[in-house]
């Protein structure tokens, strides 16, 4: 009667253990890395959608739309003239900042977001705003766009007013 395992039995057990661990690697990586990361992107997408709802409501009650362009061709500031006030939106340093005359500022933190807007004009008068958004995931030096959306809001369409 023997009191232990043979060396061959121990080596076979270790080989099987390595194969099982290698096959479960994706499963564990998903639970430890991908699911928390995806959850964070979903939360950030909800914050971004809240900001987009404010833009939609402000554009709906707009009398005129203008944009301020900085050094690059990208618009820096979206200015919306409403009947009661002027609202401006700015995207910088991972934040969307909404400034309203007489009411102060409101900001939404979206560090992985990319937002671009463009005013559509007819006879040098803005009649709509095209807003493109996405969340950027940087992975090993590559940028992956996630949850990309495109919106088109027309000025003067009935919608609830933003506060």
Task: Specify the pLDDT at position 6.
Answer: 86
pLDDT at position 75: 54
Structural domain for 107, as ranges: 7-154
User: Is residue 14 a contact partner of residue 8, using CB atoms and an 8 Å limit?
Assistant: no
Q: How many residues are present in the chain? A: 163
For residue 1, being part of any structural domain is answered with no
Answer yes or no: is 121 within a domain: yes
What pLDDT shows up at residue 131?
Answer: 92
Neighbours of 143 (CB within 10 A): 10
* Cα–Cα dist 6/118, whole Å: 73
Total tally of structural domains belonging to the chain? 1
Tokens (6 digits) for 35: 């699911």
pTM recorded for the entire structure: 0.73
Short-list 46, 71, 38, 59, CA closest to 156: 59
Asked whether residue 18 is assigned to any structural domain, the reply reads yes
In a domain? residue 131: yes
Tell me the average confidence (pLDDT) per consecutive run of 10 residues in the chain, 163 residues long. Answer: 78 92 84 83 91 91 78 70 88 88 88 89 87 88 88 77 48
Residue 160, in any domain of the structure: no
């Amino acid at each position: 009667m023997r009191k232990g395992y043979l060396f061959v039995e121990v080596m076979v057990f270790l080989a099987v253990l390595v194969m099982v661990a290698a096959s479960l690697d994706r499963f564990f990586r998903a639970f430890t890395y991908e699911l928390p990361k995806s959850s964070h992107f979903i939360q950030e997408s909800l914050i971004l959608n809240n900001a987009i709802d404010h833009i939609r409501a402000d554009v709906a009650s707009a009398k005129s739309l203008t944009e301020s362009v900085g050094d690059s061709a990208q618009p820096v500031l979206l200015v919306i003239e409403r009947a009661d006030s002027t609202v401006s939106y700015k995207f910088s340093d991972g934040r969307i900042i909404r400034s309203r005359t007489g009411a102060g500022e409101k900001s939404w933190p979206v560090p992985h977001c990319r937002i671009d807007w463009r005013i559509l004009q007819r006879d040098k008068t803005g009649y709509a705003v095209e807003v493109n958004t996405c969340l950027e995931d940087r992975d090993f030096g590559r940028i992956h766009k996630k949850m990309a959306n495109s919106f088109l809001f027309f000025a003067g369409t009935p919608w609830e007013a933003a506060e």
